[in-house]
């Protein structure tokens, strides 16, 4: 989907995503040393707002102007400082390195994704953490949610291959599950979690 399509999606509902952070993001970063955080493909900013409330200096990057407007309004309402930047991750990025670089549920075709991941990896500062959360490919048959096109669902092997040679040290790459409610029914979603760091 392009930015115009996402703009329309964000206009249609008060919140496309939940007001609170993704559960896996919160679990992974709750004890992380504070510093600068980049939330890439941030949507309405649910993870960015949570990071700011935890004491991080946060820049949220998103290509939908409508989502950014909603994120700014939410940040003002919750009285947390978040810098919102309009940018497409598939284009040139003029962003300062960060101590946490978060990429949550950005689903792109393989060839495009590989290039984006390599450039995103370069944004991790020395001593910093790279964290990727995505809908796992196995979610198609055994889970719930996310794109229904396997071309848009990465595997751990594909993500780790993309960031190989970027100087990041892999900590974890595999699947995690989370409970979610779909039409009033509890379902299990299968996510891909990749975490790495750049040595100090």
pLDDT in tens, 140-180: 888 888 888 989 999 999 999 999 999 999 999 999 998 88
42 phi and psi, to 5 degrees?
A: -75, -10
Q: Which one-letter DSSP state was computed for residue 156?
A: H
> For position 162, what pLDDT does the model report?
96
Which pLDDT band holds residue 16 (cuts at 50, 70, 90)?
very low
pLDDT above 50: residue 54 = yes
- Using DSSP, state whether 186 is helix, strand or coil: strand
Architecture of domain 3-197: 3-Layer(aba) Sandwich (3.40)
**Helix, strand, coil distribution of the chain in percent, nearest 5:** 35, 30, 35
């Amino acid at each position: 989907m392009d930015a115009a399509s996402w703009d329309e999606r964000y206009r249609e509902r008060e919140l496309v995503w939940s007001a609170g952070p993704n559960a896996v993001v919160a679990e992974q970063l709750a004890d992380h040393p504070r510093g600068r955080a980049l939330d890439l493909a941030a949507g309405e900013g649910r993870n960015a707002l949570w990071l700011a409330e935890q004491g991080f200096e946060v820049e949220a990057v998103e290509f939908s102007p409508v989502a950014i407007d909603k994120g700014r309004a939410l940040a003002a309402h919750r009285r947390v400082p978040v810098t919102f930047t309009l940018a497409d991750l598939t284009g040139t990025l003029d962003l300062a390195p960060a101590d946490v670089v978060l990429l949550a549920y950005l689903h792109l075709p393989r060839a495009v994704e590989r290039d984006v991941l390599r450039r995103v990896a370069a944004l991790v500062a020395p001593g910093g953490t790279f964290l990727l959360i995505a809908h796992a490919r196995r979610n198609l048959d055994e889970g719930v949610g996310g794109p229904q096109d396997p071309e848009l669902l990465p595997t751990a092997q594909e993500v780790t291959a993309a960031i190989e040679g970027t100087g990041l040290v892999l900590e974890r790459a595999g699947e995690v599950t989370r409970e979610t409610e779909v039409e009033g029914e509890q379902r299990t979603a299968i996510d891909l979690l990749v975490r790495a760091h750049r040595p100090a």
